[in-house]
Structure formats: C-alpha cells, structure tokens
Chains A and B, each alone.
Chain A
Amino acid sequence: MESNTTDTKYWTKLSEFSSDPTFIQKAQGEFVTSPLQKESNDSTSRRDFMKLMAASSALASSACFPQPFEKIMPYVNQPADAVNGKANYYASTCGECAAACGILVKTREGRPIKLEGNPDHPLNRGGLCAVGQSSILNLYDPDRLRNPVFVVRGSGKIEATDWDSADKKALEKLKATKSGVRFLTGPNSSPTRNALINDFLGAFSGAKHVVYDSSGVSIVAQGQQVSYGTAVIPRLRFEDSEVILSIDADFLGTWLSPVEFTKQFSKNRKVSESSPKMSKLICFESVMTVTGANADERVAIRSEHGAAIALSIAHELITKHGFSAPGDSKSIVSKFSPASVAESCGISADAITKAAQSLAKSRGKSLVLAGSTQSVSQNGLSLQVAANFLNSILGNDGLTVDSSQSPSQQTALSVDDIATLISDMKAGKVKALLIHGVNPAYDLPDSLGFKEAASKVDFILSFSDRADETAVLADMIMPDNHPLESWGDAEPQKGVFSLRQPTIRPIYSTRAMEDSLISLSKGSKLGSVANYHDYLVSRWQTSVYRQAGGVVAFDLFWESALRDGIIDVAGKSGARKRMSPSRVFKTQALSQVSVPNSSEKLSLTFYQKVSLGTGRSANNPWLQELPDPLTRIVWDNYATLSPKTAKALNTKEGDVVRISTDKGVIELPIHVQPGMHDKSIGVALGYGRTHAGSVGSGVGKSVSHLTDFGKAGVVLAGIPATVTKTGAKYRLASAQENQSLEGRPIIREATLGEYKKNPKAGNEDHAHIVTLWPKHEYKGYRWAMNIDLTACTGCQGCVIGCQSENNIPVVGKENVWRGRIMHWIRIDRYYSGSPDRPQVVHQPMLCQHCENAPCETVCPVLATVHSDEGLNSQIYNRCVGTRYCANNCPYKVRRFNWFDFNYGDQMKYPQTLAQNPEVSVRSRGVMEKCTFCVQRIQDVKNTAKDEGRLVKDGEIQTACQQSCPADAISFGNINDTESQVAELKHNPRSFHVLEELNTQPSVTYLTKIRNVEHV
C-alpha cells in the first residue's frame, strides 16, 4: 500500500473519498500484513516493542541472588598432620560393648566424622556393627551432660557445678567413708581400667568392684563354671566349624562379639565352583533373630525348652550315632528321647534327629552355642550345661571351643554379685557407691529394688554421660568422656590388646572416669599419677610390652601400637590357632536339667535388637531409626507373636495386647512374626527409657517390671504369661510393610546340592534384550558392585555405614510410617515357605546404577544423568523435585526430602558436626539416592592420578562394603577384566534384579545358596 494518491475507483466511506491524510495514515496501518513493514516511522515498531518486552521480562525474572559470604580461616598454628580437606585416620577401640572392636576414626579438620572397622584388628578385621558405627553420633549428643552436676536426692534435680567443687565434695564424702565402698560397672574388657579401679579401691578397706551385665552374657561363664569348673567365656572358632548349632544364641546379631563371629562365619558361607562347600547353621530359637534368619534349618521353640532339646540331641548322638557318654550322663540323657521332648516342647521330633544327624557327621568340627538374652530363662543355666555337654561329647571342646589359649576376656563374673550388692545397700552396709557404664535403675528387675536400695546409700557418684535413670538417684554426676575423647585399652580376648586414643578434645566439660578416679585418689598412691594417659602408658610398658616380647624400644612399640591400634600377642604367638586341651565335663551338672512340662501359658521372652541392644544408646537417632533386620520396624518395641497365635487372639498387626505375668502387666502392640513358636512371645529390651534424652526418652516400653531374679541371675526369658486383646490400636512404623516375595523372581536361590550339580542352579538363563537407546561408552573406568546374598546376614551394618558416610538424615517415626525413610541402602527381607518355619532372605537394595536408567529419561530438568564411568548421578542443585524419577525407578531406591530433615528434631547441633564435609547436605525438595560413594571414588582416583597410575582393584571401598562384616559386597572397575567384580559378574551365580526390564543394572547379585536338602 504505497499509494498516496486519490485515484481510488471505489470508495466505501466518505472520509476515504475526501483523502483525509490522518485517515490515510490510519488506513494504511490498519491491515499491515507483512511483519517487515513498519507501521509508522516515528513510533516504536512492533518488532522493537517485542524485543524490549522480552529483554525486560528476562531481566525482571532473573533476579540476582548474592552468594552467601563466608570466610575460610587459616590455622594460627598449623598442626603437623592437619591438611584442610584431607581426612586423617586414627586407630582406636570401639567403646560401645565389651567386644571392643578395633576401629579407625576418620577425622576432618580435627573432628571425628566416621568410624570404620580396623582392617588390621585380628577379630573384627575391618568390619564394624551398626551400633559401633553409630556411636560417632553419641559423641555429639546434645543431651550429654556438659559439666559435672550435683543431684538433689529425691527430686533428681540437677545443679551444674565445676570440677573443682565436684572433686572437693566427692573427696570429702569419700574420706568420710573409709569402708563400704562399692564400684559398680558393666562388663569391661579393659585390663588397665580394671587395674585402675582396683588401685582406686585399694585405698578403701573392704571395697569391692561389682560387675553386672544386662545382656545376659554372664550366664555363659557360669555355665562353664558348672560344667568344667572354670568361669570363662571361651573363644569360638566358627572358621573351623562345619556344623553350627545355636540354641538361642544370636551370635550374628547381638551376642558377645557379633562382628568377629560374622567375619568368621561368613568365610565358610562363600560358595564357589572351586570350593563348593559351606557350613551348616542349625538354630533353635525362641524369637526370630538375624542368626535364625541365616540358619539353614531353624526351629521355633520356647526359651525354657532349650536345655531339654539340647539333651535330646545328645540322646540321639549317644544312642543312634555311637558317641560316647562320659560318666553317668547316659542315664541322665535317656530321659530325653526326641519323641517325648518334641511333644512336650511342641516341635517336631524330626528337627531334633536331623540336627543330631548333621552334628554327628562333624565330630570335632562343629560348634554348639547357647546364650543370648532370650536363652536366659529359669533353665538358662541348664541350657548352658547342656550345650557344653554337646560340645564335649562331639569333641569340640579344645578344637572349636577354646577355653584356655585365647578365650574371651569380655566378662567373667558371678551373677549373684549384683544381688549381694543390692542387699548390702538395703542393709546399709554400702556407704559410697560409684557407678560407671551401667544403668541398673533402668535395666535391673524392679523386684530387686535398686531404687529403694539406692536411697539407703550415703553417697552415690555416677560417671554417666547423662542424667540417666540411675544417675538421677545419685548425689553427683561426674560425666565421663565419650570413648572417642578418651584414652583406654581393651583385651577382648586373651592376648589381643587394642588401644584407644582420643581423637578430639572433650567437646563438653567432661572428664574421663579414670581421670576422675585419679583426682579422687589424692593422698594415695594412685593420686600421684598425673593422668590416666600416663597410667595407661606405664601399665602397657609393664604388661603388654613384655607380653609382646619387647624387641624394640618401648617408645617405638608405643608409637606403633598407637598407629596400628592393636598389639596381637595371641596371633603372633600362635595361641589363636593352637588347640586347647579338652576339659573334663562334670556330668553331675546335667542332673539339674529336667524334662519340661507342656504349659498352657505362653512364654514371654525378652531379646535384644540389633539396633538398641539393652538400651544403652537409646538416644541415638540413627539406631532408633535403624530397621530391625526381621520386623523392619523402627522407633518402637512390640510383642512378636506367631501368625497362629495372633489369629487365635483375634488380633492383627498393631493391635494392642495386654501381657500379664506374675510380676506385672504390659500393654504392647503386636507384630505378627513368622517363625515364632506358637507359645512364645518376644519383646525387645532397650525401650521405654525415661531419662535417655530428647530422642530416646519415651520411645517404646520398658520391661523391667516384668523381669525377675532367679538362681541364674536376671531371668529375661521363658516367663509364663497370658495375653489378652485390649481392642486398642497402635501405629507401628515399619520400613517394609509387605513380607512376601509374592512369587516374584527377585531372589534367585538354590540348595547346596543343586549348586554342586549345576552352578547356575536357581539362576535363570539371561536373555538378550534389545534396546532402542544407544549404548553408553565407557572409555576409562566403569564402576560396578556385586552382592553375595549367601554371605549377607542382614545385620544392618551397611545401613549405618552409609548413613554416616553420606549424611543421611533421620526422619522420625511419623515419617517412617508414611514411607519416607531416607536410607540409601536398605536390606529387604522376604519370607518364603510356611509361616511356622519360614525361610528368610535378606537382599541389600541400593541404587542399581542402571545402564538404561529409567530415572534418567524422565527427569525434565536433567537432574539425574549418566556419568562416563557408569554412575547414575543425582545433581541436587538442579533437582526441582518432581519425583518422576522415583516413580519410574523399579527398585524404589530413590529418596525424597519431603521436609528439611537435616534441620529437624532428630538431628540437633552439635550432631550436625558428625556430617561428612565431602557430601552435600541435601535441602528440602530434592531427590537423593546412593551415589556408589562417588566422593570415595573421586578421592582414590585423585590419589592414583597424583601417582600416575590407574586405580587398583579393591582400592576403592564404598562405605557399605567397608563396613560389611560378612564381606558380602565387592566393588570395582568392571572394565578391568581382572577385577573381582568383573569376575563375579560372570559367575554363574550372578544375576540382576528385574533383568527382564532391561535396565541393565551395575549391581549384580549372587544367588542365595542354602545348605539344605530342599528349598
């Protein structure tokens, strides 16, 4: 429309005809058809306008956020070994239980951040249990006492004080009481601490060191005393055992030294084509434990029947298999025919005869165990005797049972000591009571009346790290250091000396109990020692150094001990391998065992959970939220009932029942537990703390009002009880709600016999599936993992290892119930077979780092991508949290931050100091998952690069792999055909979970092999 003229032939409006210039201008602009044509010369063109619009809206929407301003401060005096950003490891000793595993403490910038097993330690050999690993969090527990306190008797109110006034007052009190001093501790394998306590008590006439153990281990020593005449806890050689019979001894979970036992046990459970054999584990159990879950044959019993069952196995061995019976034992045993015992115990006689058959084949190469809390019934001592008898007739004593070469030093004590102490207290004979490391007001039976007795003691000094149930009864608390802040040592087995060194200055104004004792010894010989460190060094010089042979100068010896954390005298001298002489079994001990009567009442049994044990670390949120390996329930204790019993009571999961015994009543929700005896109820100890701290107080229910004190000490099992339904409901939070595999081929398993015939047994042929996606190229490394389902015991150690390494938050009970537990590695537990005799399988499940990762394709913002080393990486910064990846993940291993869990109620400052600075702390709204410990991979790669070489096989250890006491996890570069993972990937037992989806995971599993006749 260039025309400016008026030669329009036709017109529609008069204005058009009149060629009004404004009109012409408007008319020209009215229908601009070409975008190139300018509407007018003077005004902004449409295109310019659009440009400006776009620019200004872009500017407006991209607001500038300044980065938070932080300063990095250099050290004023740079410590010799401290390099910022570089971790230092110190060898030390775990202080969680008397097993005293060797640990390596990882510190960053002077802060301990992770505990790992010390690979040089001859017992735990690099493994560490969940409890040990989580003790790092206890160090930073905000509920620990921050200074010494006076306690007001009666009210339990605490008043803060300082060390000088505390020392002054305590000295006054102790000086006033020259006699009647008692020192109460738990089982303790530290020779130096025991020596120090003796030195301290030496200043008082008639003073006594009383040891009591709440986990029921002392009954083992007592059983040995009765059977052989010496109170000893023998060393058990699982490595040399072909058949293991455990009667209520949860040796893979909570009993004595589970990490050491798992290490040994799993060695004989590694099946390969070159050595297609494995040990056989037979369990008779009153509650379902990790050990029972790993048993090849497991029989549910009532706790009080263990002894009779053991003797009926002996009966079989003697009468059917020709084992010789010492003394008059044959006549005693004759009462215990399998048929009659089986009938009164409500089990099948077949189970007894089969167990005997298996044992009979392994003379001198078998092991019979009895002893966890759940075995400590009225017949607990009889069970010990019967188990010892079995070991003796099988010829195991001296071979697999070592009582003299390098026996356990965990505890050797009398169960009556504590009862005597309490009666002395009640009688007013005890003037001063010092308490360390135990909590009798919580875990002793109420019927013993510790609380009442305590009120009669003039002066009670507690060394507890917090104002716990017992400490609030005291006059004063001198809070002990955390083991990571202390010097110390341990001799868990004869000749195995483990050293403990502080890795951080005490966080609060606390003092090691030993130093407190030295301060309180002013005037005596012990008072002249400068501190416990000096005491320890001098004692090692006189004792350990000498035992070790003393070839080098002591300074060098001490330095190497500090560096290695361990002086293994028993290993060097060969004592650990040497046979001990077999002892004479005192057959009269057997006469105590009686044939059980079948009772109408149910049998109430208390057991320890892998997580909380006896409740010592109840304030540890990691442990509270650690799924039980069997029930997978967190944050609660409950009554486990067999499916049949639950049905008979017309109860379902979570229904509250009232359990009544002679002593009292408890109301608990039930958990229907396959593999329980129909007449047995299991309840976990360690819950219902009232003074544990902000996390642990009020979680679950305490049972101390139901336990009793019998001739064999505290009775924790086989308590006659009746159960009634209350009608109330309770919400149990479980990490896994479905119990069964639903017949899905997720677990591949075979029997040992099948495996011998065909190494591929139980494993389907792997189909070749085509894919539309182009293959990823891996030029350098490609990381992969292998998990041996036969070796994995389900102990949950890896879960805590991962949690500690990767800053995984705790979400609390409500969120677990909702299904928001954050663990990157979880141990799925499935049952198969009948609910009476279920077979259990544990499957560690973590991000599978799929080649064809379903999560990667669906993320709209590319927050999860494939690395060129085969890792499926999650980029937290980019994640907006659509959760599509998690929905599309067939393994459901992705975890979403529903809230700001890292700043929640469960993790409070200074617990946040335990976080690993190498791993991002995730904020609300982002997805997270297993990274294959990418920070560890990177660290080792950097080292290798500095040294101009490739990463060696086995050099990188993921946190889960490192902590695994069963060595079930291997990790490495699958592009290296020589590597262990590459080899295992091509093992006939290897399979992928959900192979048919063609996700091609980097994690392979090895089939579960069971040493049974039929799966």
Chain B
Amino acid sequence: MTTEARLERTPLVTGHKTYADVNDDVCRPLESWPTKKWWIALTIAATVFGIHILSLGRLITHGIGNLGLNSPVGWGSDIINFVFWIGIGHAGTLISAILFLFRQKWRTSINRAAEAMTIFAVLTAGLFPLMHTGRQWLAFFWLLPYPNFRGPLWVNFRSPLLWDVFAVSTYLTISAVFWYVGLIPDLASVRDRAKNKIRKAIYSVLSLGWTGSQRNWSHYETTYLLLAGLSTPLVLSVHTIVSFDFATSLLPGWHTTIFPPYFVAGAIFSGFAMVVTLLVLCREIFDLQDYITVNHLENMNKIILLTGSMVGYAYASEFFMAWYSGNAYERFIFIQRALGPYAWSYWTMIGCNVIWPQLFWKKSWRRNIKLMFIISILVNIGMWYERFVIIVTSLNNDFLPSSWRSYYPTLWDWGWTFGSFGMFFTFFLLFCRTLPMIAMSEVKGVMNTGHKGDHHG
C-alpha cells in the first residue's frame, strides 16, 4: 500500500459516481412518475394528517376540553407534542450550520433532508401551542407585539411563553431561509434538466435566476456562511427558551437550572434519531445507498450515543438535586416519577433514552442498519415520554395534595399526537418528490472525482 493510499480518506460517496451520476441519481425521484412505494407512503401519511386536521377542527369548534386536560394538569399532549417536535427540529440546523462551520464534510449528503425535516418539524410543532390555547382565533395574533390603540396594550415580555413565540418563529424563519438559500444551485440544476415547460417555469422562479456564474457562487458561499453563523446560536437558543417555559415556573420538577442544557442535548438527541429514521428509509426507498452511506449513519449514531448519555446524566443529576436540595415537594415529585402511578412512563423513558443507545458503543452494532433503525425509533418514543414525564408528572402532584389529579388522554389527544406525524410525513414525502433530497452541489464538492483509483469504471 502506498503512502498516498494510506492518507486517502474513506470516500464520502461510494459507488464511483461522476457528477452526472449525482445529478441523475438525486433528480430521478423528481423526474419520474412516483413509485408505488411512494404512493402507498403518501396515502398513509395523508390519511393520518387528515386525523390531525379533524382533531384540530374539533378543538377549535368544540373546545379544548376535548383533550384530557384538567386542573392541575393544564398541559398534556399539546405541549408534549410541541416540545417533542421542536426537539426533532434541532438536528437539521445543527447538521447544516454547526457541522458546516466545523467543516464536517460528511454532512453534505444528509443536510438537505435533515433541514427539510427541521422545517417540517418546526411547522408541526408550532401548530400545537397555537392550537392548545382556549381561544385559538385570538392566540394567532395576540401573542405578537403589534401597535394598537388599546392603551397601547403590549404582550408580557416577562412571560417565557412569549419568548417561545419569538424563539420559534425566528428559528423557523432562519431555518427556512438557510434551507432555501442552500437549495438555489440545486434548483437551477433541476431547472436546467427540465424538459417540460411548466416544470421549467416553476423551477426557474424558484432558482431565482441562478446562472452558476462566479459571482453567483461567491455571493452564495458568503450568504451561506453568514446564515450558518446566524443559525448556530439558534440551535442552542430555541430549546433553551422552550425549557424556560418550565424552568422559570415554580413548580417542583420544572423549577430547575439544569433544564436549558438538558433540553438542548435532548433535542439534538431526538433530532438525530429522527434523521436516522428518515434517512434509513430514504436510502432504501430512493436507492441512495451510495450517497447516504453507513459511515454517515454511523457518525450520527455516535452523536446519538453522546447526547443520549448527556440526557442520562441529566436524569441522574435531577434526582441527585431533588435529594440534595432537601425540598420536600421536589423530592416527592421525583419519587413519584420513578415509583408512582406514572412510573411506567418514566421507565419507558429511561429504557429508550439511556439504556438502548448504549448498544452503539459497539462499532458493528452502530453500523447495523436494522438495529439503528429500531433504536432511532425507540429514542423518539423515549423522548416523547421524556416530555410526558416532565410535563404531566410535575403538574399532577404539585404543592397542595387536594388538587392532585391524573391526566387521562382522550381519543382527541391521541388523534392530534398521531396526526402530527401524518402532517410531518406528508410534508416530507412531498419534499422528496419535488426538491432534490441531497445537496447535489455540495456533494459534488466532496467527491473524490479525478483521484487515482476512483476512475469511472
């Protein structure tokens, strides 16, 4: 083996692809009639999305009482789903922005899909806090500070819920812009390949007159770098602020300073798990094994292992602090979590989030597609239950024992919980059919084309 060969990195894209191959492979799903597999998937997703719409309609027309919420458990599936989906929405920007800044080239094959996932997840998430209010028709604009003649009457800048509004809307805006900017060169490629007039027209508009000129590229690169810089703090800030909803309250089990880092780690954890779930499916459905390689997935599994352990540490630390603080209310909550009526949810969370990801310590296991698919789904179940544990088991046993009460989700709770997956997957499936799933331009940049031993066979 020569010195050159030893120094050579493992190729990020396998299968001896040329640039033309990349375009062909990535654009194929866009340019051919959808496959049967896609139709089946879309039908299922859209049906579940229908359940979501039905549930939302019911809540608007009949009242939020259709959910199983009560006093003291004023938040349940609504905020669980919100935090869950916002968490999912963390991986995309992290992959695109932070890994971009750190020059992690392996990100190129997965960042497009991950970002799309982020946006759809944030859209799905954003609907929950708006729809969970008692008067949804007012919440849409009363939560925004706008000039008015009522005093003027402003929003309450002390409320973490308001911070949420800003954090989430900013995150959504920046992520969407970032994603779209990254899409422009690829949209131009699709435009250029288009044979159909209408198709060409649509993609022409979308690609904003991209010519591929030096200037285009120079500005593109600068903008992309700037947006990456802008998005990076947001990855950390959004879930930090979401965690403030809980941390700044005075409820035992919520009122803890560990929440911001704990929530961010958890968000990245669940986000990466969701990316793994989706990419494993995509590379199978759309035959993209050469672009989304096992190496990519392994890298993500490493992050899952890391963040999962961080989350595990946070769980332990919370318990320790509950005991160490000497606060009787806090202690009670934590004992109840582990041993009380909702202990099943707590142990589901521990199992899925802390124990199963530990299998990734073994290299062959974290490269095993089937295993990682299962674990990624377990992690998402676990993270859903983490939010369940945090929200429900803190509210149901707070200060005055007279008010203690359990939360029994209704069919509508489950309806909009499952329905939200329908919304997410519907969007994602449509994305796969209409936009290049892999950042072609970026992948080309990290391909070893022209190198020795990598000739097109």
Contact = CB atoms under 8 A, between A and B. Distances in A.
A892 interface: yes
Contact of B68 (A818, A882, A896): A818
Nearest to B78: A883
A862 B153 contact: yes
Interface stretch (A307-315, A501-509, A920-928, A973-981): A920-928
B64 A881 contact: yes
A744 interface: yes
Majority secondary structure, A binding face: loop
A875 to B, nearest CB: 10
B430 interface: no
Contacts of A882: 129, 132-134, 139, 161
Nearest to A894: B71
A737 B156 contact: no
B135 A879 contact: yes
A52 interface: no
Contacts of A993: 400
Majority secondary structure, B binding face: loop
Interface string B122-136: 000000010011111
Contact of A997 (B160, B250, B395): B250
A878 B142 contact: yes
A17 interface: no
Interface string A905-937: 000000000000000000011110000000000
Contacts of B344: none
A815 B65 contact: yes
Given A854-B249, A880-B135, A884-B159, A925 B64 contact: yes
B45 interface: no
A860 B134 contact: no
Given A860-B155, A883-B74, A890 B132 contact: no
Nearest to B404: A738
Interface string A828-849: 1110000000000001010000
Nearest to A828: B402
Nearest to A900: B63
Nearest to B73: A819
Contact of B134 (A819, A897, A994): A897
Contact of A859 (B62, B156, B329): B156
A829 B402 contact: yes
Query: What is the interface residue range for chain A against chain B?
Result: 35 or more
B398 A899 contact: no
A899 B63 contact: yes
B70 interface: yes
A924 B324 CA distance: 43
Interface in A411-461: none
Contacts of B230: none
Given A888-B250, A890-B250, A860 B159 contact: yes
A994 B401 contact: no
A828 B404 CA distance: 11
A860 B399 contact: no
A726 B135 CA distance: 45
A741 B73 contact: no
B201 interface: no
Interface in B61-100: 62-65, 68-75
B332 interface: yes
A895 interface: yes
A845 B403 CA distance: 10
Nearest to A857: B158
Nearest to A885: B74
A880 B142 contact: yes
B193 interface: no
B314 interface: no
A736 interface: yes
Given A819-B72, A888-B250, A736 B153 contact: no
Contacts of B328: 743-744
A764 to B, nearest CB: 14
B53 interface: no
Nearest to A993: B400
B153 A895 contact: no
Contacts of B251: 887-888, 890
Contacts of A845: 400, 402
A819 B135 contact: no
A860 B400 contact: no
Given A815-B65, A859-B156, A895 B139 contact: no
B400 A891 contact: yes
B161 A884 contact: yes
B405 A862 contact: no
Nearest to A632: B402
Contacts of B136: 925
A888 B161 CA distance: 12
Contacts of A746: 399-401
A892 B134 contact: no
B405 A819 contact: yes
Contacts of B403: 736, 892
Given A860-B161, A925-B133, A742 B332 contact: yes
Given A886-B74, A887-B74, A898-B69, A61 B405 contact: no
Given A879-B135, A925-B133, A927-B134, A742 B401 contact: yes
24 contacts: A58-B146, A736-B403, A737-B405, A741-B401, A746-B399, A828-B400, A830-B401, A858-B158, A858-B248, A859-B156, A878-B142, A880-B138, A881-B135, A883-B69, A883-B134, A884-B159, A884-B245, A890-B250, A891-B400, A892-B399, A892-B403, A897-B134, A899-B65, A924-B134
The 9 closest A-B pairs by CB, nearest first: A881-B134, A925-B134, A898-B65, A819-B70, A883-B74, A892-B403, A828-B402, A925-B135, A860-B161
Given A736-B402, A862-B153, A878-B142, 18 more contacts: A30-B215, A746-B401, A828-B400, A843-B402, A857-B156, A857-B158, A860-B155, A861-B143, A881-B64, A881-B133, A882-B139, A884-B75, A884-B161, A887-B75, A892-B399, A892-B403, A925-B133, A925-B134
Interface of A: 30-31, 58, 61, 736-738, 740-744, 746, 815, 818-820, 826, 828-830, 843, 845, 854, 857-862, 878-884, 886-888, 890-892, 894-900, 924-927, 993-994, 997
